[in-house]
Structure 1
Amino acid sequence: MQTSEPSTLYRPAGTQAGLEELRGLLGAALDILGEVAAGRTGPVPPGGPEAAREAARQALAGPLLPPGAPAGPAAVLDELVRPYARWAADITHPAALARMQPPPTTASVAAELVAAVLNQSLHAWESGPFALELDRWLIARLAELAGYGPGAGGTLTSGGSVSNLMALIAARDDTIAAKLGRYSFQEGLLQIGVQPVILAPEGIHFSIARAARILGIGEEHIRAVPVGKDGRMIPAEADRILTELPAGQLAVALVACAGSTDLGIVDPLPEIAEVTRRHGVWLHADAAYGAGALFSRRLRPMLDGLALADSITMDLHKFGWTPASSAALLVRREETLLPFGLQPTTCLSSDDDTCAGYIGLQGTSLQTTRRADALKIAVTMRALGEDTIEAMVDTCHDLARYAAARIAAEPRLELGTEPPLTAVLFRYLPDAPSDADAFNGALRRRALEEGRALIARTHIPAGDGGTRVFLKLMLLNPDTTPEQIDQVIDMLLALAAEQEAATAGA
């Protein structure tokens, strides 16, 4: 059989020749990043979406698969990395305050490169022997950090949304099995003849509704638990809803906030756990953002009762200063992840291999091939150490409190609430109060389009049953200074004054 010779352009990164070529390519890529960084004037170039699209149109004008002899990796890197870097959000910039994207540590980025070069997978022992042990070790340490005891388990995931989805799958299957002795992952919900119900506080993360859709439970079967004036779930209301559920409906999970992304709300976990235990309902704590409080002695009391949850979502690519994806789902009982391991195939594991210790992790995840994300997390945690990462979390919290105090002192700004974590909500108060929502939306877009600041927006419930638009500063860069926060706020006030003057003159 005749086969064509592989091109000399193909050089595996892990070989000696590949590592030498990689050294040169990395140097070239780092030079490009340095040149772009030196020329930056803000957290993103001005021009907004159309300018970004035009830059992409120019850079991507050629075909995906060039015919004939391609230009080679160095030339292609220059063609694509330069515009990619130029139009990347500079998350190290003090005015990059929009999203939960902290600047990753150098150690974590180096570890990410190693993981990519070696390209280990976690589904089978022969795909990554040490990577598997590292993953198991990291999950055990994260479970300890969350307060779980022996018998806990978990898995690394691509993010909080996937962790929440997996938690609700486990909750559905475990609760139905415990209460009905039936297995929904085998029979299907129609055969079992029960309508699963999920309880969650008003304003829970959108990924819960999306999970309900994917699981076939349906958004209509999410029961909203009323919250108090502080935004926290009222345990007595959860107890009432569970008690009054009609026949044919089975509550399989109650989802609690453990640090909401806007207001930093932590529901009363000990009291909620008491309710769920009494009714035999799985308690899931969404601590994707709030888990960062575990690193701080000052903030850790916020999460009292976290270890009472049956499952916990935790994102290390928020407070862990690692590149995405670095998330985890932790479970109080390792065996509750068993439904993910019921594959009919025998190509990934056999009984004799399993007995001999050749055990992969295909049975704990939605994914089969799964990258070794544990390396960058473990490297970062060990490189920073307990005291340093605590100081980083506390510094970000101090910056949020500083920003809140500065905003509260400005007569034209309204502070949403004192920040429990590092998100600061506020809004500009224009002369025409009825236009405040549209005004703040336009103010944010102007800051983005001019490349002056990257800030987020959100909708916060109001007393009249509606919502109000608030802007959001997300403080996750401990290198930011109070003076830089002042500059951002001063800039936004100046833009708002210009916008208001232009509106009045129109």
Structure 2
Amino acid sequence: MNTPPLSGGIEGPAALRPLLTTVLDALYDGAVARSGPLPAGGPWHTAARVRAAVHPVLPPTGTGAEEALRTLVTAVTEGAADPADPHCAAHLHCPPLALATAADLAASALNPSMDSWDQAPAASEIETLVTAALAAEVYPQHPAADALITTGGTESNQVALLLARELHGPVQVVCGANAHHSLHRAAWLLGLPEPVAVPAPTGTMDLAALDAALTDLHPQLLVVATAGTTDTGQIDPIPDIADLCDTHGAELHIDAAYGGPLLFSPTHRPKLTGIDRAHSVTLDLHKLGWQPAAAGIVAVADPARLHPLGHTADYLNADDDTEAGLPDLLGRSLRTTRRPDILKIAVTLRALGRDGLADLVDRTCARATELAQLTEQHPEFELYEHPTISTVLLRPTTADDETLATLRRTLLTEGRAVLGRARTPDGRLWLKATLLNPHTTTGDLTTLLKLLEGSTPR
């Protein structure tokens, strides 16, 4: 048996080229077979098809690269929930740009490991430059601001809490009832007290309740505001929260995993006014940034805040190597081995520029506004509120919560639409459309409403 070729080196591209043709053909064939936003038939039907394609997982004799790629990529594609379909709009799960995906291929082919300079000479320098540029978007008045690359919002929030704990001891986290669940998990993981959840009766943090909580609690406080909530996409009143933090001597972290890319748009950036007053900020470019996962970021105004992450492993960052000028990468992450996720981000920033990114943000937000308007004008649907970013909550006027949940599952099982569900502070259940596809058209939105109209029991 011939030894399979590798993806790197001079011979790597030639080895990859025919395989990429197979993969691209399988992606096409799988999408045609699926013919919708997700496979019809529900979990059992999808599982049966996948089992048939995968069996046997480890055959006595291999089937060869072409057959294995064609069979399994086709099966995964046919059984995918495809965020590029305009009716796949349940979650903060974006359709990645083709150019970002192509860059990710290069990252996989070269396989740099971002834990020591001698494994990633060029990639580590790109990461240094791009993280500084992204930090400058958040903190334009702080020339030394820095950022780390993470696996997403969950890890970024965890790092932010860790840095606060290392600086101040066992901080008490104070967040809104609208905050992401990762904050509670991070507090548990780090041995911190359970976060105090401030009411958010309108979907954003209640300022009077926050003031009262900060008055009653001990002084080592970390307030976490949210810029783009998971359920409704709302943004907490950042300037007012920052003022309260100043008054009470509390630190501020902002979870802008969803809303952070609004910074790229002159039209929408004012929604994040005051974000630069936070000590740390979470961003996530595999949400409203059109990157393949993972593409998380945690930015800090003061780079000294990152010092507790410093760590020495003699085989990776020996003191004499560092003193001789080899960059020390271990303090750039909680992880050791990690991919160069920065490459796809760097390619996207360079290819699109500020204007191109702003256009994507503006077009996506405009489609959400349009869906809200269509819903409001439709006699058979009710709108929760006009979107802050790109999340729209709607429901048929005649449906109760049980009917609504059944309607959502029916559309999933039939493979016709992927919509989320959200329960608002008033206790009502809503269908959630999280629009992240800038190519969505008015016709797509109208068709989505017709699908819902036709599936709602009379």
The one-letter code of the counterpart of 1:468 is: R
**1:347 aligned counterpart, secondary structure:** helix
Alignment of 1:235-314 (within 5 A): 235-245=207-217, 249=218, 251-314=220-283
Among 79, 93, 106, which residue is 2:98 paired with?
A: 106
* 1:60 and 2:54 are equivalent in the alignment: yes
Which residue of structure 2 aligns with residue 184 of structure 1? none
- Aligned alpha-carbon RMSD (Å): 1.7
Distance 2:332 2:84 in 1: 35
Among 158, 166, 190, which residue is 1:215 paired with?
A: 190
Task: Answer whether contact 1:90 1:96 (CA < 8 A) is retained.
Answer: yes
Question: After alignment, is 7-16 or 126-135 more displaced?
Answer: 7-16
Distance 1:469 1:239 in 2: 30
Which residue of structure 1 aligns with residue 418 of structure 2? 454
Which residue of structure 2 aligns with residue 486 of structure 1? 446
Which residue of structure 1 aligns with residue 74 of structure 2? 82
Length, aligned pairs only: 457
The one-letter code of the counterpart of 1:124 is: S
Distance 2:247 2:128 in 1: 32
Distance 1:25 1:291 in 2: 37
Alignment of 1:338-353 (within 5 A): 338-343=307-312, 345-353=313-321
Change (3 A) 1:41 1:12: closer
Shift of 1:250: 5.1
Shift of 1:472: 0.8
Shift of 1:319: 1.8
Distance 1:371 1:166 in 2: 18
Q: What percentage of aligned pairs have identical amino acids?
A: 39
**1:13 aligned counterpart, secondary structure:** coil
Q: TM-score, normalised by structure 1?
A: 0.87
Among 430, 451, 455, which residue is 1:495 paired with?
A: 455
Structure 2 residue runs of 5 or longer lacking an equivalent are none
Which residue of structure 2 aligns with residue 170 of structure 1? 163
Alignment of 1:134-149 (within 5 A): 134-148=126-140, 149=142
Cα deviation, 1:260-313, whole Å, max 9, x if unaligned, reads 122222222222223223433221100000112111111111100000000000
**1:461 aligned counterpart, secondary structure:** coil
Distance 1:347 1:15 in 2: 25
Among 346, 362, 373, which residue is 1:394 paired with?
A: 362
Which residue of structure 1 aligns with residue 147 of structure 2? 154
**1:82 aligned counterpart, secondary structure:** helix
Which residue of structure 2 aligns with residue 204 of structure 1? 179
Task: Answer whether contact 1:157 1:329 (CA < 8 A) is retained.
Answer: yes
Which residue of structure 2 aligns with residue 126 of structure 1? 118
Task: Answer whether contact 2:286 2:294 (CA < 8 A) is retained.
Answer: yes
Task: Answer whether contact 1:59 1:83 (CA < 8 A) is retained.
Answer: yes
Task: Answer whether contact 1:157 1:327 (CA < 8 A) is retained.
Answer: yes
Among 359, 377, 381, which residue is 1:413 paired with?
A: 381
Task: Answer whether contact 1:143 1:153 (CA < 8 A) is retained.
Answer: yes
* 1:443 and 2:407 are equivalent in the alignment: yes
Distance 2:371 2:63 in 1: 49
* 1:423 and 2:375 are equivalent in the alignment: no
**2:326 aligned counterpart, secondary structure:** coil
Among 6, 10, 17, which residue is 1:23 paired with?
A: 17
* 1:33 and 2:27 are equivalent in the alignment: yes
The one-letter code of the counterpart of 1:233 is: M
Task: Answer whether contact 1:172 1:253 (CA < 8 A) is retained.
Answer: no
Q: TM-score, normalised by structure 2?
A: 0.96
Question: After alignment, is 34-43 or 159-168 more displaced?
Answer: 34-43
Distance 2:165 2:249 in 1: 12
Change (3 A) 1:9 1:112: same
Distance 1:370 1:21 in 2: 25
Cα deviation, 1:39-92, whole Å, max 9, x if unaligned, reads 44211121011111111221222133x33x412211211221110111112222
The one-letter code of the counterpart of 2:401 is: D
Distance 1:31 1:403 in 2: 34
Rg: which structure is higher? Answer: 1
Structure 1 residue runs of 5 or longer lacking an equivalent are 1-6, 177-194, 502-506
Shift of 1:34: 1.9
Question: After alignment, is 195-204 or 399-408 more displaced?
Answer: 195-204
* 1:334 and 2:306 are equivalent in the alignment: no
Distance 1:38 1:80 in 2: 15
Distance 2:153 2:125 in 1: 23
Distance 1:93 1:233 in 2: 33
Cα deviation, 1:224-252, whole Å, max 9, x if unaligned, reads 2233x54332344323222222xxx5534
Distance 2:34 2:57 in 1: 29
The one-letter code of the counterpart of 2:256 is: A
Cα deviation, 1:421-442, whole Å, max 9, x if unaligned, reads 1000011222xx6xx1111110
The one-letter code of the counterpart of 2:145 is: A
Which residue of structure 1 aligns with residue 109 of structure 2? 117
Shift of 1:389: 1.7
Cα deviation, 1:450-502, whole Å, max 9, x if unaligned, reads 1111111111111xxxx221111111111110111000111111001xxx24x
Shift of 1:352: 2.1
Shift of 1:170: 0.6
* 1:231 and 2:203 are equivalent in the alignment: yes
Shift of 1:117: 0.6
Among 62, 72, 94, which residue is 1:70 paired with?
A: 62
Distance 2:420 2:205 in 1: 25
Which residue of structure 2 aligns with residue 354 of structure 1? 322
Structure 1's consecutive aligned runs of 4 or more residues displaced over 6 angstroms after TM superposition are: none
Task: Answer whether contact 1:171 1:252 (CA < 8 A) is retained.
Answer: no
